Amino acid sequence: MSIAAAAAFGCAMSGPASAATNLIANGSFETGTNGLGGWTLSAGFTDKAILYTSGASGEALSAPTAGLSLSPDAPLTHGLYFVTNNTTETISEQVVISTAGTYDFGFDYYVPANGKKNGVDATLSASFGPAGTFTSVLAHSTAAQQWFYVNQSVFADVGTYNFSISFATGSGSGAASDFVVDQAYVVREAPLPLLGASPIAFAVLGAGLYAARRRRTLAA
């Protein structure tokens, strides 16, 4: 390694890492009409975001635990409550990827105990362009009153991709099970930790200087 290459390596290792930005607008369902600002809703969509302090059909629930999702957005006061019977509903957003790379994506979901007791099952599924459908769960097969955190990753080229979450109830009469979702996100993975003026960087630079000096000595 030449002196110039070693110096360039040391400089490259010292650049700052950029902070993660959620490419999903309103991934925590806190803004807009019914908490759904920024989302495109399927025809006939009737559900809305609820305050955690108000509960799900009278059942108390808490926000997701901070730090268990890879979303850069903190869990706040609302979650989207899918509760309508005899329906198929979808929310979606167009996600613009301006830099090719590996992206983390996902969301959180919760089944209220009162909804799980209902006789008609319900399915919650989600998809993201380059990954396709990345989760599909049944309410009756999901532990109630517990948050689940879906965190996945995929390589994405530059482009615009659809991110969607769908809720569908099974056939049959009577009330269906329901879901609460929160913290939808798509973020570019952070680069590997940078070394800056670390011992490793200095070691590489030192090796380059030694090699260059040795070449001069041998040539003399």
CATH of the domain at 112: 2.60.120.260
Chain length of the chain: 220
Specify the 3-state DSSP secondary structure of 200: helix
With 0.95 as the threshold, say if the pTM is over it: no
The span from the CA of 30 to the CA of 50, in Å, is 9
Specify the 3-state DSSP secondary structure of 172: coil
Taking only the tens place, the pLDDT of each residue in 173-188 is 789 999 999 999 999 9
pLDDT bin (cut points 50, 70, 90) of residue 118 is very high
- Using an 8 Å Cβ cutoff, are 212 and 44 in contact? no
Specify the 3-state DSSP secondary structure of 178: coil
Please tell me whether residues 125 and 144 are part of one structural domain: yes
pLDDT bin (cut points 50, 70, 90) of residue 207 is low
What is the domain count for the chain? Answer: 2
Taking only the tens place, the pLDDT of each residue in 17-28 is 346 899 999 999
Please tell me whether residues 5 and 38 are part of one structural domain: no
